[in-house]
Amino acid sequence: MAETTNTLLSLAADRRKYFMSTLDHTLRNNLVAEKICLVDRTDNYKIESPYSSTPTVEVSLLRGTFTPAAWTVTDDTLTVNTEFKVGEHVYDYERIITQFDMIANRIDQQAYAIANAIDIFVLNNLTEDATGSYSTPAGGFTTAPNINTIVGNLHSKVAGYGGEITRNGLFLVIEATDLPGFIINGMATGFASADRVVNGGLSNSFSFANIDVYVVPGSTFTNDTQAAITWTNSGHRVFGVKDMATYAAPRSLQYSEIGVTGKTGMECRSWGTIGFKLWATKASLIVDITIV
């Protein structure tokens, strides 16, 4: 007697592998959060970072005595407590009558949707928790003559921390609507720079004055409340030193398919948990930019 194979289960398993490879590619290549934060993919659901108070140096004339100061240790904790989830039902007739694999299409769309949701969450929390601040000249990034002034002022906000900047580098996250100012500025700045911008434009990430600039969709920086966290970042952008915050994604994201009573086809669902923390001792190296 011939062995019976459960085709439905094998297809679901193949699609899960496809989802995980698609998701891994999407997260690593599309997420700005992956490029500006330390990423923890271990099974740690809580990360502790104890830090002590800053010592105060006493300066005096020669006398040989000093006053010992009290010092404290504070625990700063990242807790993975935020769920990201999406589910859709693909009816069997939809799969049959379409000219492409409907479920594979939904897998792709879910991967991009989750990546975008994670970026919005991380970038807005990063901006909200930053203790550095800067207001642009009137017109913000869209006014080309402002670009050099803004970039110079941003450099001054973190200058002096040579070791961390040299090791990690600097970043700036802008929205797509800010890009024209950089393009017009680039066209008018020096022969090599102008040629590069005129011939190739600027992509979703580029280098400007030793800063890695990342371009995200419009309305990424928002006023919103998600997972009991409120932020007010409409009209804001963020700049700073890379790897001052940690983005934790234990076990990455998951995918499954399940049949639903009373419906043909399959429910496709993706989910996962993440945590984010801008460590208190490094918050001054992240700058909340207000567009004027």
Mean pLDDT within 246-254: 81
Residues 160-166, mean pLDDT to the nearest whole number: 73
DSSP of 78-137? EE--EEEEEEEEE-HHHHHHSSS-HHHHHHHHHHHHHHHHHHHHHHHHHHHH--EEEEPP
Q: Coil, helix or strand for 274?
A: strand
Q: How far is CA 288 from CA 113, 125, 156, in A?
A: 26, 11, 14
Domain-wise residue ranges, the chain: 9-47+73-290
**Which pLDDT score is estimated for 141?**
96
What is the mean pLDDT of the segment spanning 39-52? 85
Global pTM reads: 0.83
Q: Is the pLDDT of residue 198 over 70?
A: no
In this structure, how many other beta carbons lie within 10 angstroms of the beta carbon of residue 201? 12
CB 264 within 8 A of CB 113: no
Query: Which residues, including other chains, have CB under 8 Å from residue 278's CB and lie 6 or more apart?
Result: 125, 126, 129, 130, 244, 245, 286
- The predicted pLDDT at position 202 comes to 58
pLDDT greater than 80 at residue 266: yes
Pairwise CA distance, residues 53 & 89, whole Å: 53
Q: In the prediction, which pLDDT does 161 show?
A: 75
Amino acid 246 reads T
Is the backbone of residue 264 left (phi > 0), alpha (psi -120 to 50) or beta?
A: beta
Task: Say how far apart CA 248 and CA 40 lie, in whole Å.
Answer: 5
Work out the widest C-alpha separation in the chain, in whole angstroms.
99
130-140: burial string, b at 16+ Cβ within 10 Å, e else: bebebebeeeb
Mean pLDDT of 141-170: 89
Round the average pLDDT of the chain to a whole number and report it: 84
Q: Is the dihedral of CA 283, 31, 160, 71 positive or negative?
A: positive
pLDDT recorded at residue 54 = 78
Residue 123 has a pLDDT of 97
Nearest to 269 by CA among 43, 109, 99: 109
CA distance 290 to 127: 10
Amino acid 153: pLDDT: 97
The span from the CA of 84 to the CA of 64, in Å, is 60
| Residue found by looking up tokens 């990034």 in the block | 141
- pLDDT at position 145 over 70: yes
With bands split at pLDDT 50, 70 and 90, how would you rate the model's confidence at 199? Answer: very low
